[in-house]
Amino acid sequence: MADTMAPSLGDIGDLPGGSRHSALGRLWYRNLDEYPSTGKRMFFLGVVVLAAILLYYELYVGGAVAPSIIRTYHMSFVFYVNITVVANAVGAFSSLLAGIGDRWGRANMVAYGLFFTGAIVAFGIPNAPNEWIFGILVGAVGFVEGIILVATPALVRDFSPQLGRASAMGFWTLGPVLGSLCVSEVSSHTLSHLHAWQDQFVICGIAGLVLFVIALFGLRELSPRIRDQLMVSLRDRALIEAKAKGIDIEEGLRHPWRQMLHLDVIGSAFGVSVMLLIYYTLVAFFVVYFATIFGFTEARANALGNWYWIVDAVVLVLVGLASDRLRVRKPFMLVGAVIAAVGTVIFLTRTTHPTTGYYTFVWMISIIAIGLALAFATWMAIFTETVEKRNPALTATGLAVWGWVLRAVVAISIFVLPYVVSTMTPLVTYGPAVEAAVAKVDKAPAVTVPYSSTKQPLLAVVGSHQALFTQLAKYPSAKDIPSAVLDKAIAAVGVPALEEASKYAAPLRVLSAHGNSVSKASKSSPNQWRHWWWVCFAGIIAFIPLIFLTAGRWRPKRAREDYEEHERLVAEEMRQLGIHPEAS
C-alpha cells in the first residue's frame, strides 16, 4: 500500500540518490539511481504537468487582456504582435539551448525556471513603465518557456514507458490547454471587478511562485544511466537497472545534433507546428478576434474560450488512454487532423456573419478542439518514440529540435499575420472610443439642414460631411474657426447642425479623427480573417502526409506482435544476466 502513496515534500530526502547530499545540496543534485515506485513516479509526473500548466498560463495571460494592454501603452497592433514574434523567436533558440538537458539534466531547468517566470509575471510586467520594457519582459518569459518546453516533456518521457507514453503525454499536453483554460477562467470571473489588466498578471505570477517552492523541494529526475535506456513497459525496470552500470554515457551523447537532424525528426516537428497554427492564433488573438468581429466583451470572449479548453483537456486524456490500450498512434493523428480541418472550414465561414450566436461558436470551436486533441496527444507520444528509435539518450536534443521548429514557425506566422489582417490596429486601438462616440452623438436631437424640409440625425449629417467635420475638429472652439471655413460649413450643413455639433465637440473629434478608418477596417476585417483561417487550414492538411515519417504501427495487431517480441527478448536478456522474472 505504501508503494502507491505519493511522497510528501519531507520524504524526498529519503529517495535513492538523495541521501548522498546535504539538505542544501539536494536543491541542486536531483538524480535518482533507481527507477521510482509507482506512487513516487506519479508524484514527479504531477509536478511536471503542473509546471507546464503554470508556465503556459504565464505565457498566455496577456492574450486575455490584449485590447487593454494595447490601449494602455498606446501601441499599434503591429507592435503588440511583434512582441509575441520576438518572444517566440528567443524561445526558439532557448529551446536549442535546452538540448544540454541530455548532459546536465532537466529538473533544475523546470524548478528554477518557475522562479524566474513567476517573479517577472507577478512583479515585472505589471509595473512596466512603457511598451518597450513590457516587450522585453514578455520576451524574457518566452526565453525561459522555450527551455521548459523541452525539459518538461523530456521528464515525462523519462518517467513513462512507451506503453503508457500517450497517457502521460496526454496529461503533459494539458499544460498549454489548461494554461489557456486558467487564463480564460480566471479572467472571465475577475475582469468584471478587477478592472486593471495588471491584476491578471499578478494572480498568475503568484501561482507560479507557489509551484516553484513545491518543485524546488519535490522534483527529482532519473540518473543518466537509467534514463538513457529504452523502456517499453514497467516490466523492463529490473533489466534497465541491471544494465545501468555498464552504460557509457559519453558514447551516447557524442554528436547529438548529427544524430537528431534527420527527416523523420525535423519533418514530423514541422508538420505538427503548422497543424497548430490555428491553436496559437486562438491563444494570442482569441479575445481580439471576437471583440472586433463579433462585438464580444473581454469577459464574454474569455468565457467562450473556456469551452474550447475544457473540451480539449478532456479529449487529450481520453485519447491518451485509448492510444495506449490499442498501442497505436497514427490512426488517431490522421482522424484528428481530418476533424480539425473540417471544424476550421466551418469556423471560417462565420467571419462574414457578425450576428452569429455565442452557442453556435461553442460547438464550432469544440469540433476544432476535439480534432487537435486527438492529433497532438498521440503525436507527442510518437515523436518521443521516433527520437528513442534513433537514440534514447538524446531525448532532450530531439525535443529541442521540435521546440526550435515550433517556435520558429509560430514566430514567422505571427509576424505575417498583421499583413494578412491589416485592420486590427484601428479596430483594437480606436474601435472602443469610436463606438462610445457614436453612442453619444446618436443621442443628439435631429437637426435641419439646407435644402431639406425634414430633420435628420446629427450622426447622419456628420457621416455625410466627413471631410468638413474633420476640418472643423482641428479648431479648439467655434471662435477659432476662420470666417471662410465657417461660411462654407454653414452653407453645407446649416447653423442648427453646427450649433448642435458644438455641444458634442469631444466625441465628434474622435469620429473625425478615427471614424473613417475604423469604419473601413470593420468592413474589411472579416474577409481578411477568413484568409488567415484558410492559411491555418492549409497547415492542418500539410500535417497529414508527414504522419508517415514517424515510428510506430498503423494496425493494433502489428503493434501487439511487436510488443510480444520485445517481451520475449527482454526475458531472454534477463535469463542471461541471471535476473529472476519476479524482480521486474
What are the residue ranges spanned by the domains of the chain? 2-14+37-244+258-424+529-577, 431-520
Asked if pLDDT for residue 336 goes beyond 90, the answer is: yes
Asked if pLDDT for residue 32 goes beyond 90, the answer is: no
Helices (H) and strands (E) in the chain, counts: 27, 2
Q: Which residue has the higher pLDDT, 3 or 208?
A: 208
Instruction: Kindly report, residue by residue over 112-166, the tens digit of the pLDDT.
Output: 889 999 999 999 999 999 999 999 999 998 888 888 888 888 887 777 775 666 7
- pLDDT at position 105: 73
Distance CA 106, CA 121 (A): 22
Distance CA 533, CA 340 (A): 12
| Strand duo 31-32 + 221-222: pairing | parallel
In which residue are the cell numbers 470572449 written? 301
DSSP-assigned letters across all residues of 237-292: HHHHHHHGGG--HHHHTSSHHHHH-SHHHHHHHHHHHHHTHHHHHHHHHHHHHHHH
Q: Calculate mean pLDDT across residues 21-48.
A: 74
Q: Calculate mean pLDDT across residues 221-230.
A: 64
- pLDDT at position 233: 47
Average pLDDT of every residue of the chain: 80
Distance CA 383, CA 273 (A): 13
pLDDT band of 22, cuts 50, 70, 90? low
Least-confidence region, from 150-164, 285-299, 499-513: 150-164
**How close are the terminal C-alpha atoms of the chain, in Å?**
18
Q: What is the DSSP letter of 28?
A: T
- pLDDT at position 134: 92
Asked if pLDDT for residue 344 goes beyond 90, the answer is: yes
Nearest one of 140, 170, 127, 168 to 58, comparing CA atoms = 140
Buried/exposed code over 67-103 (b: 16+ C-beta within 10 A; e: otherwise): bbbbbebebbbebbbbbbbbbbbbbbebbbbbbbbbe
Its pTM stands at: 0.73
- pLDDT at position 532: 92
Single-letter code of the amino acid located at 466: Q
Those residues with Cβ within 8 angstroms of residue 378's Cβ, 6 or more apart along the chain or in another chain: 166, 319, 320, 323, 329, 330, 332, 333, 336
Let me know: does 476 contact 406? Beta carbons within 8 Å.
no
pLDDT band of 442, cuts 50, 70, 90? confident
Q: Calculate mean pLDDT across residues 573-581.
A: 62
Nearest one of 422, 445, 426, 453 to 528, comparing CA atoms = 422
The percentage of the chain sitting over the pLDDT mark of 70, rounded to a whole number, equals: 83
Architecture of domain 2-14+37-244+258-424+529-577: Up-down Bundle (1.20)
- pLDDT at position 10: 36
pLDDT band of 232, cuts 50, 70, 90? low
Residue 222's DSSP bridge partners are: 32
Single-letter code of the amino acid located at 293: I
pLDDT band of 271, cuts 50, 70, 90? very high
Asked if pLDDT for residue 103 goes beyond 70, the answer is: no
Distance CA 164, CA 155 (A): 14
- pLDDT at position 274: 94
Asked if pLDDT for residue 19 goes beyond 50, the answer is: no
Asked if pLDDT for residue 184 goes beyond 90, the answer is: no
C-alpha cell at 476: 479648439
Q: Calculate mean pLDDT across residues 215-237.
A: 66
C-alpha cell at 582: 519476479
pLDDT band of 198, cuts 50, 70, 90? confident
Buried/exposed code over 452-487 (b: 16+ C-beta within 10 A; e: otherwise): eeeeeebbebbbebeebbbebbeeeeeeebeeeeee
